[in-house]
Amino acid sequence: MITPALFRHQRSEGSILLSMGPKGVRRMREAHSAKVRVPQASHEAILINTGGGLAGGDKFSFDITAEAGARLTVTSQAAERVYRSLGDPAVVEVRLRAEAGASLMWLPQESILFDGSALTRQIEADLDADARFLAVESIILGREAMGETVHHARLRDRWRVRQEGRLIFADDLAFDGAPPATLATLGEARAFATVVLVSPDAENLVEKVRDEIGASGSASAWSGKLVARIVSRDGFELRKSLIPALTLLAGGIALPKVWTF
């Protein structure tokens, strides 16, 4: 007989280390349930979670570098599902580095939070002065088409972006319980996204981004960076605003095909 003190639920772990140079992959390492695939002659990396989702206590880490003069777009094979937790949150740590003259785009597909789920995510980006950086993170609170409702979930999402070692963007989003539904937060929306662009042309793009987003959110730009928030009724409606905005901000680089199916 196993006593409660000795019982331990099975947990999933995974880590990715990827460094892309101007001519292709320089370093690549994958461990446990985290896999990465780089199509031949491509500057695109596709992340795969072979565990099929995240549950409480799971831990994943991603260490991604675009070396000097390189171009790298990172996406995910599918939306990440975050299942009900028995206590501890699933933990995702993302470390991004864009060196001199590099272009790095962090464009994973959505994270779907199910009822009772718990997710703690931290994104740390370090950029050289002339690097170009675009990142998005999207959250869907249950799948409307499947009749799913999220009554309680825990989310802690922390962003820190530094340029030449100086903090230029910090953002913390958190709730524990029913998703915030006031007029100043989500209202009736159940899908939302944060987009961050660091680029010399960021301030020139803000009006165009606002046009693409429309009434679903807005964008601000200052000191070489642009931040946009988008909220929508569901994931499908979110993509209708998000894809045109990302296409505009990608600076002529095509979005991964998984975003355009």
Q: Which of 242, 168, 169, 249 is nearest to 205 (CA)?
A: 249
Q: Which long-range contacts (CB under 8 A, 24 or more apart) does 164-173 make?
A: 164/127, 164/128, 164/129, 165/126, 168/198, 168/223, 168/224, 168/225, 169/196, 169/198, 169/225, 169/227, 171/227
In a domain, 258, yes or no: no
Question: What confidence tens digit (pLDDT) does each residue in 70-88 have?
Answer: 999 999 999 999 999 988 9
Element (H, E) at 93: strand 90-98
Tokens of 8: 């331990």
Q: Which two tokens stand for residue 29?
A: 């390492």
Does any domain span residue 49? yes
Name the domain count of the chain: 1
- Distance, CA of 67 to CA of 130 (rounded, Å): 12
Check residue 258 and give its pLDDT. Answer: 87
3-class SS string, 212-241: HHHHHEEEEEECCEEEEEEEECCHHHHHHH
Give the pLDDT of residue 1: 47
* Closest to 61 measured CA to CA, from 89, 37, 95, 107: 95
Does 147 reside within a domain? yes
Looking at residue 8, what is its pLDDT?
57
| Segment holding 112, helix H or strand E | strand 111-113
For the chain, the average pLDDT equals 92
Instruction: Look up the domain containing 231 and give its range.
Output: 15-253
Query: What pLDDT does residue 139 have?
Result: 96
Question: What pLDDT is attached to residue 41?
Answer: 79
Lowest mean pLDDT among 2-6, 92-96, 108-112, 218-222: 2-6
User: 141 lies in a domain?
Assistant: yes
Residue at 6 is within a domain: no
Q: What percent of the chain has pLDDT over 70?
A: 95
* pLDDT tens sequence across 93-112: 999 999 999 999 999 999 99
pTM of the model: 0.94
Q: What is the pLDDT of residues 130-183, one digit of tens each?
A: 999 999 999 999 876 676 788 899 999 999 999 999 999 999 999 999 998 887
pLDDT for position 220 = 97
Is 115 domain-assigned?
yes
pLDDT the model gives residue 180 = 87
Q: What is the pLDDT of residue 34?
A: 97
pLDDT above 50 for 221: yes
In a domain, 3, yes or no: no
Question: What pLDDT, on the 0 to 100 scale, is given for residue 147?
Answer: 64
Could you read off the pLDDT of 7-37 as tens digits, one per residue? 556 788 999 999 999 999 999 999 999 999 9
